[in-house]
């Protein structure tokens, strides 16, 4: 039996419910709004995915259907405590666990912050593997970096994941939006960032088509 079916309280989303998620995410927060709500948090959190690349570039390059942040899994309670009036739902592979319990959180990594009143989702929280202050790549646990080396900040102080690592995550599937993000970001990477991305791609995805552009 798949792990998702063994976890208590889960619901498999129907195709119609999956299609409706776009509307439920339509009022999600911006990076600036998230940063204001998390001001003073001591955990090494950062904006991830497509928004992280736009923060690196200094401009919004496309529409974003949601907003994701990442932080060490052990620090999730500090984030959760910032939102006592909201619910955190765990999600995985088309399943959802509303008001996720500790055992569900331990078996999943993605958590959506839900407004009780509207049912809308406002923030996607990735609870990442780590070894103390060392970040561990969820897709390949041999890839590790100190948090201090992979979190950048905008002039306004918004933390975001280093673009070379964002692109490493996007390299796994390369959806159309991932290719758009790659094409927009690569010209702005420093030589050292290009070398790091090339090295990580060669390690995690040998022969990946993006390597030809690095």
114: containing domain: 3-205
Domain count, the chain: 1
* Residue 134 to residue 1: CA distance in whole angstroms: 33
* Spatial separation of the C-alpha atoms in residues 81 and 86, rounded to whole Å: 10
- Is the pTM for the entire model greater than 0.85? yes
pLDDT in tens for each of the 214 residues of the chain? Answer: 455 667 878 899 999 999 999 999 999 999 999 999 999 999 999 999 999 999 999 999 999 999 999 999 999 999 999 999 999 999 998 999 999 999 999 999 999 999 999 999 999 999 999 999 999 999 999 999 999 999 999 999 999 999 999 999 999 999 999 999 999 999 999 999 999 999 999 999 999 999 999 9
- Pairing of the two strands 11-12 and 121-128: unpaired
Residue 210 forms part of a structural domain:
no
* Residue 213 maps to a domain: no
CATH number where 13 lies: 3.30.460.40
Spatial CB neighbours of 170, under 8 Å, sequence gap ≥ 6: 49, 178, 181, 182
Residue 211 resides in a domain:
no
Q: Which two tokens stand for residue 54?
A: 């736009």
Nearest partner of 148 among 134, 167, 136, 165, judged by Cα = 134
- Residue 214 domain-assigned (yes or no): no
In a domain, 37, yes or no: yes
Whose CA is closest to 166, among 34, 32, 46, 50? 50
Write the DSSP symbol of residue 139.
S
């Amino acid at each position: 039996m798949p792990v998702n079916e063994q976890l208590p309280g889960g619901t498999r989303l129907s195709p119609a419910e999956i299609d409706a998620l776009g509307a439920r995410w339509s009022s999600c927060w911006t990076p600036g709004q998230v940063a204001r709500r998390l001001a003073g948090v001591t955990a090494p959190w950062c904006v991830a995915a497509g928004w992280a690349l736009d923060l690196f570039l200094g401009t919004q390059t496309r529409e974003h259907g949601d907003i994701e942040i990442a932080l060490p899994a052990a620090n999730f309670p500090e984030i959760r405590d910032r939102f006592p009036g909201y619910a955190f739902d765990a999600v995985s592979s088309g399943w959802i666990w509303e008001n996720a319990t500790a055992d569900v959180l331990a078996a999943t990594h993605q958590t959506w912050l839900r407004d009780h009143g509207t049912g809308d989702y406002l923030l996607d929280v990735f609870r990442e593997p780590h070894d103390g202050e060392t970040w561990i790549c969820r897709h390949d646990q041999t890839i590790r970096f100190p948090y201090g080396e992979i979190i950048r900040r905008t002039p306004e102080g918004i933390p975001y994941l280093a673009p070379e690592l964002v692109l490493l995550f996007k390299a796994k599937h390369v959806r159309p939006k991932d290719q758009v993000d790659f094409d927009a970001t690569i010209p702005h990477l420093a030589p050292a960032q290009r070398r790091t991305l090339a090295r990580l791609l060669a390690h995690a995805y040998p022969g990946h088509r993006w390597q030809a552009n690095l």
